[in-house]
Amino acid sequence: MGESVQLIVPELGDFSDVDVIEVLVKPGDMVAVEEPLVTLETDKATMDVPASAAGKIVSVEVGVGDKVNAGDVVATLDTADEVDTLSTMVIEPEEQEKILAAVTAEQEKIVAAAAAQASRPETTHSADLVVIGAGPGGYTAAFRAADLGLDVILVERSERLGGVCLNVGCIPSKALLHAAKVIDEAEAMAAHGIGFGKPEIDAGALRAWKDKVVSRLTGGLAQLATQRKVRVINGTAKFASPRHLVLDDEETIGFDKCIIAAGSEPAMLPGVPNDPRIVDSTGALELEPIPARLLVVGGGIIGLEMACVYSALGSSICIVEMTDSLMPGTDPDLVRPFLKFVSNRYDRILLGTKVAGMQATTAAIDVLFEKGEEKSGESFDKVLISIGRRANGDKLAAAQAGVDVDAQGIIAVNKQMQTNVPHIFAIGDLAGGPMLAHKASHEAKVAAEVAAGQKSAFDARTIPSVAYTDPEIAWVGLTETQAKQEGIVYEKARFPWAASGRALSLGRDEGFTKLLFDKSSGRVLGGGIVGTNAGDLIAEIGLAVEMGADAADISLTVHPHPTLSETIMFAAETYEGTLTDLYLPKKKR
Ligand SMILES: Cc1cc2nc3c(=O)[nH]c(=O)nc-3n(C[C@H](O)[C@H](O)[C@H](O)COP(=O)(O)OP(=O)(O)OC[C@H]3O[C@@H](n4cnc5c(N)ncnc54)[C@H](O)[C@@H]3O)c2cc1C
């Protein structure tokens, strides 16, 4: 008899209560060091627990379906002194049966795959994977899947790849916002002794520059598709069965797996006249023309970004928002400095007010506002309707494939981005959650990896939100609004930019940085920033939340001086009580 040794579950990182999905040993088995004892499965991966010593298994302490944590005993073993376990290994009849069963299962898999292949109907084109829509979700999924060895077709109804984000969303809007920022900053310098005079705006040249930025990016995508041998097919796809699509020109595409990434479209107000002066965000990006008076219907991020652009280009701005605040749902303290900043610049911000009617006349668009019982009318040269976006899930005849779509056009998915039909995935704007390009591209990678047979899951703790307004507003993770709604206990630290050397030197001290902490563990739960470049700065707080960092992790990380990024460190120091850049009375904890 040798020594009795307990074989335990090793460190599992952040995982706890991990499922045992297979037990590979039984009492009496001889095992060598590193030989797998049991297989565990998390959302992300499967892993074997290896034997830390060689010998004879005396007892097995876990079974399939049990949940284990680091340190739990898996089995006990009697160390086999001077026994060469390998040389004593014989294949028992029972073991032989196991091996045979495994081989049969593998053969069955191959037969099933061949059957799936065979069930693809005769089609004009076919591929391992078809992706519908070439936005940030679709092209990312197609490229990742091709990199993993799948034969991929990417179907896109527009001539250019890139979807809303590259063509009529994130990129063109940010190009115009950059132009607006330059105009506003040049004007602001007049107060500090440098005058540039009134800007001369050539809307055509500005539009051409914005279009060039877009073409460069979309052209780059076409090249990336070619390099990866992703076949791009131009057409509007609909499902004809669970295994094939039909295009508007009646060509057909068969597939083993499909990723739906058909995105979303602007929502329209019912009853709005059909007039070129009434536009959605796509029309607003055309700057055709720059109106004297612009009404923005909807005080969400897209409307407010376009208001910034048109205001800098010389339009007088009126914003009408049905709820009582701009950017509904965002922490009110983050919105306040923005509201203060634009209140002096914009003509009017009408909160708690509805558009009750709209009429197009030769001279203008006449709009009827309704605030409670009160009604008033006003005329505008252009109206931007930006009341949200609607998912395209219900425009694909998804029922032909058995895929469920809800009344909002959203397709429900699991963490692997699979719909209710497991070989069909959905990602991006039509898969629910925030309609953001970075969410779409992260989901895309998961869907492509799962489609390629890898273990992958979408389990981001946070998805950052940014309004690229002036000032910018950004937040990530837990918000105070959410914490209050859900009764989550948190602590807050806030650093005002009026005490930041960098903010002062930019002439923009209206912002602040706040961090929210878990009261018991001290970990960062979320944060928000309002001020110049908040959108870039928020990434550090996102990383802190993902890594489970606490205030010391941030405050002890040396940040470059003088930068706006220091404000995150200062907020952490405020929480820790180590801040020297401001005097804060000591808090009792
Ligand atoms: C003005 C504006 C500014 C924005 N700014 C930002 C920002 O700063 N940051 C951010 O993260 N997000 C921003 N967004 C949102 C962002 O653009 C979307 O979240 C993102 O594009 C969604 O990506 P997606 O791949 O799901 O779909 P989309 O980008 O909508 O792409 C879907 C693609 O599918 C194609 N398609 C649809 N149906 C079919 C079909 N049946 N057959 C073939 N092709 C089809 C469409 O033509 C489209 O190209 C902005 C949006 C707008 C409108």
The rounded distance, in Å, linking the Cα atoms of 155 and 231 is 8
How many angstroms does the Cα of residue 403 sit away from the middle of ligand 1? Answer: 21
Domain with CATH 3.50.50.60 in the chain: 125-266+390-451, 278-387
Give yes or no for residue 214 CB within 6 A of ligand 1. Answer: no
Please provide the CATH number assigned to the domain covering 278-387.
3.50.50.60
- Tell me how far CA of residue 106 lies from CA of 40, 101, 103, 238, 382, in angstroms: 20, 9, 5, 34, 65
How many other C-beta atoms lie within 10 A of the C-beta of residue 521?
Answer: 10
The rounded distance, in Å, linking the Cα atoms of 489 and 478 is 11
Confidence (pLDDT) at 39: 84
Give yes or no for residue 262 CB within 6 A of ligand 1. Answer: yes
Nearest to 579 by CA among 521, 483, 515: 515
- Tell me how far CA of residue 527 lies from CA of 284, 436, 570, in angstroms: 32, 18, 13
The rounded distance, in Å, linking the Cα atoms of 315 and 185 is 17
Count Cα atoms within 13 angstroms, Cβ side, for 348. Answer: 14
Q: Is 327 exposed, middle or buried (0-12, 13-18, 19+ CB in 10 A)?
A: buried
How many other C-beta atoms lie within 10 A of the C-beta of residue 457?
Answer: 16
Confidence (pLDDT) at 121: 81
Q: Phi and psi of 114, rounded to 5°? A: -65, -40
Contact (Cβ atoms closer than 8 angstroms) between residue 298 and residue 404: no
The rounded distance, in Å, linking the Cα atoms of 541 and 517 is 11
Report which ligand 1 atom has the smallest distance to the Cα of 281.
1
Q: Which fold has domain 465-576?
A: Enolase-like; domain 1 (3.30.390)
- Tell me how far CA of residue 15 lies from CA of 68, 491, 536, in angstroms: 10, 26, 30
**What is residue 106's DSSP assignment?**
H
Spell out the CATH class of 4-79: mainly beta
Report which ligand 1 atom has the smallest distance to the Cα of 236.
42
Report which ligand 1 atom has the smallest distance to the Cα of 165.
17
Nearest to 322 by CA among 279, 377, 370: 370
SS3 274: coil
The rounded distance, in Å, linking the Cα atoms of 103 and 100 is 5
Domain with CATH 3.30.390.30 in the chain: 465-576
How many angstroms does the Cα of residue 220 sit away from the middle of ligand 1? Answer: 17
SS3 72: coil
The rounded distance, in Å, linking the Cα atoms of 195 and 189 is 7
Confidence (pLDDT) at 586: 67
Give yes or no for residue 225 CB within 6 A of ligand 1. Answer: no
Give yes or no for residue 418 CB within 6 A of ligand 1. Answer: no
Nearest to 446 by CA among 465, 459, 433, 461: 459
* CA 198-201-202 angle, 5° bins: 155
- Tell me how far CA of residue 66 lies from CA of 26, 39, 365, 415, 575, in angstroms: 16, 11, 67, 22, 41
Confidence (pLDDT) at 84: 45
Which segments within 163-308 are labelled E, that is strand? 231-234, 237-241, 244-247, 252-260, 264-266, 278-279, 293-297
Pocket test for ligand 1, best of 153, 161, 170 (most atoms within 8 A of CB): 170
> What's the Rg (C-alpha) of the chain?
29
Handedness of CA 487, 493, 496, 500 (dihedral sign): negative
Contact (Cβ atoms closer than 8 angstroms) between residue 409 and residue 402: no
Residue 125 designated active-site: no
The rounded distance, in Å, linking the Cα atoms of 385 and 394 is 22
Residues 6 or more apart whose CB falls under 8 angstroms from that of 171 comprise 162, 165, 213, 214, 217
What is Dmax (Cα atoms) for the chain?
101
Contact (Cβ atoms closer than 8 angstroms) between residue 215 and residue 249: no
How many residues are present in the chain? 589
Confidence (pLDDT) at 108: 58
Q: Is 246 exposed, middle or buried (0-12, 13-18, 19+ CB in 10 A)?
A: buried
Nearest to 243 by CA among 420, 120, 114: 120
The rounded distance, in Å, linking the Cα atoms of 179 and 352 is 31
Per-residue pLDDT of the chain (589 residues), as tens digits, is 678 999 998 887 777 888 888 888 999 999 888 788 988 887 666 677 888 888 999 999 999 899 999 889 999 999 865 444 444 445 676 776 776 776 666 655 554 555 555 467 889 999 999 999 999 999 999 999 999 999 999 999 999 999 999 999 999 999 999 999 999 999 999 999 999 999 999 999 999 999 999 999 999 999 999 999 999 999 999 999 999 999 999 999 999 999 999 999 999 999 999 999 999 999 999 999 999 999 999 999 999 999 999 999 999 999 999 999 999 999 999 999 999 999 999 999 999 999 999 999 999 999 999 999 999 999 999 999 999 999 999 999 999 999 999 999 999 999 999 999 999 999 999 999 999 999 999 999 999 999 999 999 999 999 999 999 999 999 999 999 999 999 999 999 999 999 999 999 999 999 999 999 999 999 999 999 999 999 999 999 999 999 999 999 999 999 999 999 999 999 999 999 999 999 887 665 5
Give yes or no for residue 302 CB within 6 A of ligand 1. Answer: yes
Report which ligand 1 atom has the smallest distance to the Cα of 162.
49
Confidence (pLDDT) at 91: 60
Whether the model clears a pTM of 0.95, i.e. scores above it, the answer is no
Nearest-CA residue for atom 45 of ligand 1: 133
DSSP characters over 404-421: ---TTS-----TT-B-SS
The rounded distance, in Å, linking the Cα atoms of 492 and 526 is 10
SS3 371: strand
How many other C-beta atoms lie within 10 A of the C-beta of residue 232?
Answer: 18
The rounded distance, in Å, linking the Cα atoms of 543 and 522 is 16
Give yes or no for residue 175 CB within 6 A of ligand 1. Answer: no
Q: Which helix (H) or strand (E) holds 431?
A: none
Contact (Cβ atoms closer than 8 angstroms) between residue 404 and residue 412: yes
Pocket test for ligand 1, best of 164, 166, 167, 310 (most atoms within 8 A of CB): 164
Token pair 């309002």 is at which residue? 530
Domain with CATH 2.40.50.100 in the chain: 4-79
For residue 102, give both structure tokens: 């495994």
In this structure, the strands spanning 244-247 and 252-260 are antiparallel
CATH architecture group of domain 125-266+390-451: 3-Layer(bba) Sandwich (3.50)
Give yes or no for residue 438 CB within 6 A of ligand 1. Answer: yes
Q: For the sheet containing 348-350, what is the strand order?
A: 278-279, 382-385, 293-297, 316-320, 348-350
Token pair 């009849």 is at which residue? 93
SS3 426: strand
